[in-house]
Structure 1
Amino acid sequence: MIYLLYSGNFDALTGGYIYNKQIIDYLRKNQVYAETIQLDTLQPLTSEKELLKNERLIRSIPDNSILLVDSLVFGSQPIFRTRYNPSHILIPVVHLPLFLNPDFQLYSDLKPREMEAYKMAKHIIVTSLFTKKILMGEGLEDTSISIVNPGIDPMPVKTNYPFSS
């Protein structure tokens, strides 16, 4: 079973949410059971109460599940920095590391916490070579990071434009 964990509005028309939806749609089209789970609030601005609620929800996911975890959640949710359930296969989906997000620059301890969490992951999905190089520059192994470019399904090439002759 595969679960995509995210925070925020999954229907938002932003690159990150659209990308995450493409992954889920692709899995479902290929008869892979995939479910989305919304966690409270936008990380790392989460209250202690919300962190505990999120942790209970994560712990309730069945053993041996694959957890695709949006990077807004993964780097700042403390549970991912521990071996809370070794049977869960953790795979963060990283658009850009949180520590590079200007909105979170005030959190001086974010980078080491986020990197500690990445080291607990079984594998890491990134959206670009740029992001992969950033994570490798922080000490993560090349073989533990895969690039899955946005746009999972090939788009048909339109050749019949109105202005063509």
Structure 2
Amino acid sequence: MTIKRCSFLVPGDLNTRTGGYTYDRRVIDGLRAQQWEVEVQTLGEGYPAPAAAALAQAGRVADALPDGALAVVDGLAFGVLPDLAQRHAQRLCWIALVHHPLSLETGLDAAQQRALFESERRALASARGVIVTSSSTARALAAFDVPDSRIVVVEPGTEPAPLAAGSGTDALSLLCVATVTPRKGHALLIEALAGLKDRCWTLHCAGSLVMDAACASALMQAIERHGLRERVVLHGEQDEAGLCALYAKADAFVLPSFHEGYGMALAEALAYGLPVISTRAGAIPDTVPADAGLLVSPGDAIALRAALQRLMDDAAWRAQLKAGAQRARGRLPTWQQSGARFASVLADFRQPAGGA
């Protein structure tokens, strides 16, 4: 029997609590459930702006892989390692796992965007295959000169969840689950809610406050400046039990992202039957059905405020969205399905290039 084996190369710590790392962990578990031997190795810290030490570590890891090895590399690292990818392209089977293009991160200046775009374009040229988490990201990679034949979509799974019980109070409980970085739009959310202080609501934010300390500090200052300290709770990073408790007590979910390669937290919200207020950014329209949420233009605080105001004022409409979310929860893929599909895709990509 042919041994199914791959190396899974990740930037930093695989146990980091973000959507991308959660996807990596669950896919690795899924591969092992499909009888794959998976060796996980770290490429060092600091991606997508690795220091010399991380680049040296990535080089050592790649050098040590045996000829013909199937190497799945998280795109947060692969996109900034074009020279390493090219150097080993003939002897390794590179599989790039792209959650979303690096140049689409919020807060980059034009020069940074160009540099990341060119770096990722060069790296992807060396990949045997590219796995993405949404059709939106697959379409975005056309600009990187990646042929459609080398791109496969493997959507994240979603853990089944009980329907949220809600806050049970007159004050609407809004939940935002996202690491505090510029791309997630927390500052925009505070600006929108600042104009709704006459309504009864509380915002609960779950997500790391240390991954981008400057962004977190600016968020705290904005909360103070708008006089919302008693209305906004920053819970920081939560474990599974903590997240489940927050989802269970929420009345609605809000995430004003500037871009999402899929939006795993949005799918989680649907699994709990929560109505969603978000944006038409990246893959979000593919993740959130029209009858389960209202999507506004990214960066539009006025439109976001109007959506939140309607959510607060129109109980019948909120109930309609909740019903739509409850219908959507039954259509979400499971992690078992995602793991099996990932394994099938790897099996196809590991075939010799001439037969792929």
After TM superposition, which residue ranges in structure 1, 4 or more long, deviate above 3 angstroms?
Answer: 78-81, 103-106
Structure ranking higher on relative contact order (CA contacts 8 Å, 6+ apart) = 1
Q: Distance between the aligned counterparts of 2:26 and 2:56, measured in 1? A: 29
Q: Which structure 2 residues correspond to residues 46-85 of structure 1 after superposition, within 5 A?
A: 46-84=50-88
Unaligned runs of 5+ in 2: 158-334, 339-356
CA deviation digits over 1:94-126, x for unaligned, max 9?
100111112555624111111011011001000
The answer as to 2:153 corresponding to 1:153 is: no
Q: Which residue of 2 aligns with 1:126?
A: 132
Q: Which residue of 1 aligns with 2:40?
A: 36
Q: Distance between the aligned counterparts of 2:149 and 2:337, measured in 1? A: 25
Deviates more, 1:13-22 or 1:40-49: 40-49
Unaligned runs of 5+ in 1: 156-165
The answer as to 2:8 corresponding to 1:21 is: no
Q: Distance between the aligned counterparts of 2:127 and 2:72, measured in 1? A: 10
Over the aligned positions, Cα root-mean-square deviation in angstroms equals 1.9
Q: Quick one: structure 1 residues 131 and 85, their matched pair in 2 at CA, closer, same or farther if it must change by over 3 Å?
A: closer
Task: Give the Å deviation of 1:85.
Answer: 5.0
Name the SS for the 2:87 alignment partner: coil
Q: Distance between the aligned counterparts of 1:150 and 1:78, measured in 2? A: 26
| TM-score between both structures, scaled by the size of structure 1 | 0.85
In 1, are the aligned partners of 2:12 and 2:45 still within 8 Å (CA)?
Answer: yes
Q: Distance between the aligned counterparts of 1:10 and 1:103, measured in 2? A: 25
Deviates more, 1:80-89 or 1:119-128: 80-89
- Equivalenced residue count is 155
Q: Quick one: structure 1 residues 137 and 72, their matched pair in 2 at CA, closer, same or farther if it must change by over 3 Å?
A: same
Identity of aligned pairs, percent? 30
In 1, are the aligned partners of 2:59 and 2:84 still within 8 Å (CA)?
Answer: no
Greater fraction helix: 2
Q: Quick one: structure 1 residues 103 and 58, their matched pair in 2 at CA, closer, same or farther if it must change by over 3 Å?
A: farther
In 2, are the aligned partners of 1:98 and 1:104 still within 8 Å (CA)?
Answer: no
Amino acid at match of 2:137: T
Q: Which residue of 2 aligns with 1:140?
A: 146
| TM-score between both structures, scaled by the size of structure 2 | 0.41
